[in-house]
Amino acid sequence: MNLLLQVLVNGLLAGGILAVVALGFSLVWGIMNIINLAHGAFVMMGAYLSYVLFASFGLDPFASVPIAFVVMFGFGYLVQRFVINFVVRAPILTTFLLTFGLSLLLVNLVLLVFHGDSKAVTPAYLGSNFSLGPVTVAWTKLWTLVVALAITGAIALWLSRSKTGRAIRATSMDIGAAQLSGVRVAHIYAIVFALGAGLAGAAGVLVGINQTLNPSMGDPYIIKAFVVCVLGGLGSVEGALVGGLLYGVLEALGSQFIGTGLQDAVALVVLLLVLIVRPRGLLGRAVA
């Protein structure tokens, strides 16, 4: 029982990162109908930005989360306005190829600058932990979860309370009605894509605190984000959170009781069951 409790806690702590990674992916996919294959590269860029700030200026990695968000938000806005915007109405294969090519470009640029050596962000408190009964919790993982929950809550609040957030929600529900109401859809699309990139950058910082960095580190998170989106519900902030936490727990259980390397199989089996029982995801809205 103690082992099971420890595994569950580890899964929840890891699931917070997956929720933030998947949230940006889900918003872009759900609102723009673009499966952004460069999302993993955005995660990687956020992690490397945190590494540069830590190695060059000694900035605490948690303090670099808002910086990574802002930098990647601006980068994502420019990419959408001057690249993605030209093919946003194109068939999905076109956006597939474009974002895949963008991912390859970004990965190779980082590889050119930083080479293939693994990097690490190592603050003084890395490795410290505390015990809560039979469960041992690493401080970095706990604060990672707290930051992830704070980011998710802030995005949910912004989408529901701000004028731009309401415009984004209106565009996702009915683009024609949104245009008739005066919503500038091109601008909203740029904001959504920028938001996805910013969230990926923030998630990359959280990922970089908990693992080593390399130019291809973002690749596995594309598949994980896809699964989390389908589990929780496409375009749903709450769905991304629930799906991320659920995936984290399933991955931890699979790794502990089935074996490392097969943990993803558990999550994929659960994904298949969810698709059979509830195709729109656990918290996804019905489509008329």
Show me where the domains of the chain are located.
Answer: 24-218
First to last CA, the chain: 45
Q: From residue 68, give the alpha-carbon distance in Å to each of 5, 11, 249, 280.
A: 33, 25, 27, 32
Residue 79 token pair? 């990419």
- Annotate 179-232 with DSSP letters as a single string: HHTT--HHHHHHHHHHHHHHHHHHHHHHHHHHS-B-TTTTHHHHHHHHHHHHHH
* Contacts (Cβ under 8 Å, ≥6 apart) of 88: 32, 34, 95, 189
> What is the greatest pairwise CA distance in the chain?
58
Asked whether the beta carbons of 40 and 196 are under 8 A apart, the reply is no
> C-alpha angle 92/25/90, rounded to 5°?
20
| 165 vs 163: CA distance, rounded Å | 5
Prediction pTM value: 0.93
In the prediction, which pLDDT does 207 show?
95
In the prediction, which pLDDT does 235 show?
75
In the prediction, which pLDDT does 271 show?
76
Torsion sign over Cα 141, 146, 148, 149: positive
Residue 90 token pair? 């194109």
| Per-residue pLDDT in tens (0 to 9) along the chain, 288 residues | 788 899 999 999 999 999 999 999 999 998 888 999 999 999 999 999 999 999 999 999 999 999 999 999 999 999 999 999 888 888 888 999 999 999 999 999 999 999 988 999 999 999 899 998 889 999 999 999 999 999 999 999 999 999 999 999 888 888 888 888 888 888 899 999 999 999 999 999 999 999 999 999 999 999 889 889 888 888 788 889 999 998 899 888 888 877 666 666 776 787 788 778 887 777 765 443
| 218 vs 234: CA distance, rounded Å | 21
| 68 vs 25: CA distance, rounded Å | 17
In the prediction, which pLDDT does 277 show?
82
In the prediction, which pLDDT does 269 show?
80
In the prediction, which pLDDT does 227 show?
87
In the prediction, which pLDDT does 84 show?
92
* CB-count exposure of residue 147 (10 Å: 0-12, 13-18, 19+): buried
Give the DSSP H/E element, type plus range, for residue 239.
helix 237-257
Asked whether the beta carbons of 13 and 245 are under 8 A apart, the reply is no
> C-alpha angle 150/228/70, rounded to 5°?
40
